[in-house]
A and B are shown apart, each in its own frame.
Chain A
């Protein structure tokens, strides 16, 4: 048991060290570069450019986006890969297109297991139920205290 605790706390310490290291290596420089680009942006905003930009490589001498197309990262979805494409003309946004590849191995949007609901309209009793989760239209938090889900959370902890 003591071994386990020591092991767990050791690995936790290592994880924290890694996190700090990662923060210093990746995030910190990013933060400073962000600060730089922010000031750059505000300068451009003052110089009447309506489309200020942080991507210095794509900035022309006028401080505007170069004409052409820019694409975002592709994302795999149920309906195939999607990718956002921005077309710039005259240094400003001309068109947003969403490229969508057809989903070649289209599978049912359903689910990989048998799904038939059972029905019973009766008050749910938190202590004697086989239900742990409640699905309903999203409620405001105000209503949560008295909600079924809250009752289940309390009863089954």
Chain B
């Protein structure tokens, strides 16, 4: 192996929809060119996320979601993004046996899918192309704990992703080293109104690691809604990878199989 390379992680934060979105580069050297690129891409992503919010926010009276709720069903065929999200929600509901439920509030609300979808799309459009730049070794878009990550081919670098301890938000309880991947975590403590809890719930947090954030996010949400017992057969059937945190233990799983806990230094 070559000598140890030091990396730097210049980053910016966008605050939108009450969620902090962190954009991070992994570079060997922070140059003015890198900083300019970071600022430009931050602008681009900001505008894209703003558009998504204007379209899909259930809180904005003029959003397309609200128009649809008020009966304007033409959006389903006339607006490509709206149509795509509606279709994805339906497919996700079916694949998760209804545990992911865009109608949980009694009316169509795609909020549970839109954040992951928006992050993944913004990543693909704006960050992934930057990996063609020799100076930019890695890129990441992390929106409130759900993220899409990437690294240039043939590089030693991996993103270190810590999984938050739901009992103590200043701690991580596990970590992954990932190159090109998506990580989503769903839990109780906070804003998960899109989660309908099962009656008894020792399951505190579900993390899913996948190629695409839409998938990771849908399955993390479905896992929380399903509870440990109902989620385990789905993990096996769908060959999911991730981590369950119950009030008793940590249960890791990789490609549908249970992984044994490995104590290690981070």
Residues of chain A in range 129-149 having any CB-CB distance to chain B below 8 Å: 129-141, 143-144, 147-149
Task: Find out whether the CB atom of A157 lies under 8 angstroms from the CB atom of B11.
Answer: yes
Residues of chain B in range 78-95 having any CB-CB distance to chain A below 8 Å: 78, 80, 83-84, 86-88, 90-92, 94-95
**Number of residues on chain B facing chain A (CB within 8 A):** 97
Task: Find out whether the CB atom of B20 lies under 8 angstroms from the CB atom of A112.
Answer: no
Which residue of the partner chain, among B18, B22, B215, B219, contacts A153 with CB atoms under 8 Å? B22
A156 — nearest CB in chain B belongs to which residue? B9
Task: Find out whether the CB atom of A133 lies under 8 angstroms from the CB atom of B140.
Answer: yes
User: Is B183's beta carbon under 8 Å from chain A?
Assistant: yes
Task: Find out whether the CB atom of B175 lies under 8 angstroms from the CB atom of A79.
Answer: no
**Number of residues on chain A facing chain B (CB within 8 A):** 65
User: Is B181's beta carbon under 8 Å from chain A?
Assistant: yes
User: Is B149's beta carbon under 8 Å from chain A?
Assistant: yes
Docked complex Cα distance between A65 and B8 (Å): 57
A82/B78 contact (C-beta < 8 A), A110-B239, A117-B252, A131-B172 known: no
User: Is B98's beta carbon under 8 Å from chain A?
Assistant: no
> Which of B56-64, B122-130, B160-168 is found at the contact surface with chain A?
B160-168
User: Is B173's beta carbon under 8 Å from chain A?
Assistant: yes
Residues of chain A in range 102-131 having any CB-CB distance to chain B below 8 Å: 108-124, 129-131
Interface residues of A (CB under 8 A from B): 4, 8, 50-51, 53-55, 65, 70-73, 75, 77-80, 82-84, 86, 93, 96, 98, 100, 108-124, 129-141, 143-144, 147-150, 152-153, 156-157
Task: Find out whether the CB atom of A109 lies under 8 angstroms from the CB atom of B18.
Answer: no
In the complex, how many angstroms separate the beta carbon of A34 from the nearest chain B beta carbon? Answer: 11
Docked complex Cα distance between A73 and B87 (Å): 10
User: Is B153's beta carbon under 8 Å from chain A?
Assistant: no
Docked complex Cα distance between A153 and B22 (Å): 8
1/0 per residue, CB under 8 A from A, across B238-249: the answer is 111101000000
